Structure 1
């Protein structure tokens, strides 16, 4: 099977870092740099709001005095390339996706936006511009080799060119983009996927800057990479800035502020290369030769030949000596229309069609009669398999392709030539057919598996799900309630808004109501009837869940000590209880000691029992009487 080409995804611009915080208002006005405000909040809870802010300025084209040529991946055309086709735009590619917009002192803007229909900010001009000039358009440029080599003082080479030969910088946003390659079907072209690829697989992304210049044949051109902003222009030329050099001022303009195209602009050159456009021979030039000057009218005989059918053989009737037009794929506009090539004398046409039917229908007739002893060879019926016909029946139908193809002698000749081509190329055609069948077999296998899955799913649904009552079905599908929508919310949200308690769908309750559980069997043995359709009845309000029982605190000595008052006072009830408990504890201790001394077992038992009883019961009695 043929290999599928990888997908390419394009972005109108790309920036990283704090430059993405720029907004349109942050670069408006007469500032020399793009700025944005940073705020720090010092406010404390329940106190007056306190915050501090500071404006940060970003580096722009005015801080760039040159670029590293290693950032350039490729140029088209290559340096000193000859015989270049003129119908492609020159461009330069960078290995850093954000490079053309890294120092742009502007914020991205949408094409057209309204409050009712906001548009994404897809327009951001690059801080660089690629211009292409022929030798006659360059006013002055030093003879340097390819690249951006400056003089010993580090100054970039200076280009002097008239304003009329420079592109319109108001459209520069359209001539730069980012390309992400090898986007497969398993990678959706979402914003998150594209950003992840640029961050984790930077080798798949590049940026490209193009020049919208129409190139003329047999002309030598030089491409220049120059700054697009005025501060970048002066920085490259080592000139001082003045008050009018704002951050967003362009290196040149096509507006009325510079009405004279003869104004010479001085530009520093970051990088440059040259190439030669070749002779005419591309597709565009060939088409122009066909239409300019206008073509002459060809005679009606161009693209057609005369076909003589006066002696057709095979027992067919002799026809007129007049020739019938046999036309090719390309004919003169003056030629007869294609639907006229099958027309001749009407009476002869009907006579020929009737005789031809008797000849071409002979094999089908003998097969129908079942006489296998007769071997018949007859002219073929072209297109019989596509039309699902094995004979030519009825009267000739002018607008029916099967009748027209097999009854008109010129079309039968063309079909015979096509058959000859197929016979000569049958090996290659069969190999190509098998390549297509491989994909068809895979598709058919997938369809068969999908059909089988559909049949099995329907069977399981009818057998196992339709027979269930609603309570059991809701219990079984509980894990999916938060994932299935029941417009506009999920099933879980709908149940939470209903009288059905969420506890009846949790694991403990579902375990208790299972048919095989011992708890449910025990209820049946006790003669109690287990409620059916409890979810339905709970939804109608017939069943309600009771509140959980209150868990009382343990009666401990620690809780008793909390009843002591911090000012030293002791409640009277506590005094009575304390005297009683100390007395009971003392008597129990004396009884236990007497038993140990006299070694009388029953005395020891009474002492131990009463001592333990006083230690356990007396705190409880105090808590109960004092509502602890």
Structure 2
């Protein structure tokens, strides 16, 4: 982090850097322009003045130039030990209209950021002035000394380069930097402040108020106020913000207050909520001996596992009878179930004769559509019985269904956005299915009835791609191995490619037409593919035209050979000239049958539409691909249901989560059984809603797969909390999921306190150090970061880790496991008195000396300043208005190589001394789980 950015004291661009201040308060840059003439001795130079606008010409700032205020508008808990600031996108803006009233190395900006309490000013509105106005009651008591404003502004460049390279980069491309105005005032706790960006020069003040320019005796560089004289002053402002400070505890102090829950507090926090079972609402007759059971929650104490159901057997049997009647629909219940229903619904021993005349209105059987034989039984243990017959998990499933009903419109909108893709896929599959029928009929009627050798000729372009598949009977008897193409088999058999070529047949047809009947030369006929009797000789008679062509070719070859042997046409008559004999190449051809090859081609042609479907449509199961036809698909709706659940029933996360003590850290586990039951009920309700609205689904899909908010893209199914419900085989709480194949419960950490509001999005992790009892900042094992998180209130948040409790409590790791809370490193802040460097980087909170469950912290050692990071308000002087006085020097600390407050100090070095490094807290796991 120290090398990730650099501060520069100022930045002035272009000719403004060389400009001077004229009598009228404007900046003037003087140039000499040389004028050359053709005549000797007439060259001359002419002085030219370039006049720039000054602070008296500014009546406003484009709001787009302001990048941000710190703290943001409306913050109510800003630490009074930190400094407010404003950042500008243009890195030269604070010095663009500055007049030369400062040192060369300390150019004073023309803007100042001030912070005023509500009792220090009065808002005047705009009136006839170009800018909004405020009246400060006393400049000496509320405003900074303008002589020190050179220390309030600096430039930041985010670059890992060294100082020389960063300086050159700033000159080459200034737009990659930005400017910042600090307000180094000691703020009071629990106080409302307003920030104003105001002009520093009198000409700018009067221009913003719509007044005449400053009088001549004031001078062009006169300042907007004089803290030495005091009194009221009216100021225009270009931008503003407001905030409120907290009770005076900075982030470091808040981290020091964190402690873990003791056993009593943890038990009270996770105390179960009982509900009675003796008067279920559906049944008329009560179950007086049913008693009560404890409600399941999404988070439970570490080591919690749901036990057997507390519902009596009679109650479960009655529930199963009702649910089976709903499931069976047309068939109705058995006699025993009918009698049982009558006894609990009407109090009579026999059912009414017309009981089945009216439709049964009963509670829903959750998840029955995912079963092959949907029927509930009380003598077996399955997840479907747990979620339907155990009241604890029926409540969870009902809560999931209620969450879907609350948000059905937005969920259906997301589903309809995926509808065109499903429809287009089914339209493509329908066309391919039609093509498959047409291809099969064409093959059966046309191609399959052709002679085998003709089929090979017609299918020549397809032979390299037609491969024999495993289990295919065609080609098995001729040595045609699975995976080999027809073209490859022909090549391996020695048959020239021309044997299966239409070009050869065309040539053969032309030669055959010019063979009249008659005696001729006896030639061996070429072997036809597939013919085992390929040795028979045939007679081919040549026509006169063909014999003439052969004689012409033979004579031409003879003359060419004689020309190569003779000299100038003179031949040796005594020597017989013999032409070299033509070389012949013997090719061994293995005999084979073409009918099996033709059958392979037929089968592969039949399979082409299916292969195209497999290529164009992904995501089909093997059964769907084999069955063919259109697809029934549920949309993918990766909505984190925990947010819906908390909005409807916050206590469903944990019974006493709202009563968690302030400034505490608690460790719990997710309740996988509760989460799976809730997700089942949500998917059951969503499938019913999809069917009701005509979405193409068979109600067996799992559109909702995420419970926790992991902040991941929708398409990343590898991070889903549950897998397809059709694959569930185990009891509730034991199903494997893409993000957790072993089905183990994840560790969840709850933090309550002002530190949650301060950090907003802190960096949390679990470290396994290299040494027992000692936390190391960079352990060999990579830290475990939270995979999901959420907020229940501005001061209460939870963070989940994809790691099991058994992993941390293993005897080989419990002494080396630490929970780390870190302030985000990218949030640059400025202030004083936040503790030493060792405290910020290695804040070790332990249980020693703080009572049961308490945590204490290392504190700053009083005495001499040992490092610039220990710089506090007590080390610097402040004026009457509590602004830091920059005209002072400090001795360089012995433990630092930087001279930030020496004689060569500037706004960049002072800003570096104000910069606060991120704070970290480390909580050891040892002792946290003791006694639980």
TM range (shorter): 0.3 to 0.5
* More contact order relative to length (CA 8 Å, sep ≥ 6): 2
When normalised by structure 1's length, the TM-score is 0.39
Bigger helix fraction: 1
Which of the pair has more CA radius of gyration? 1
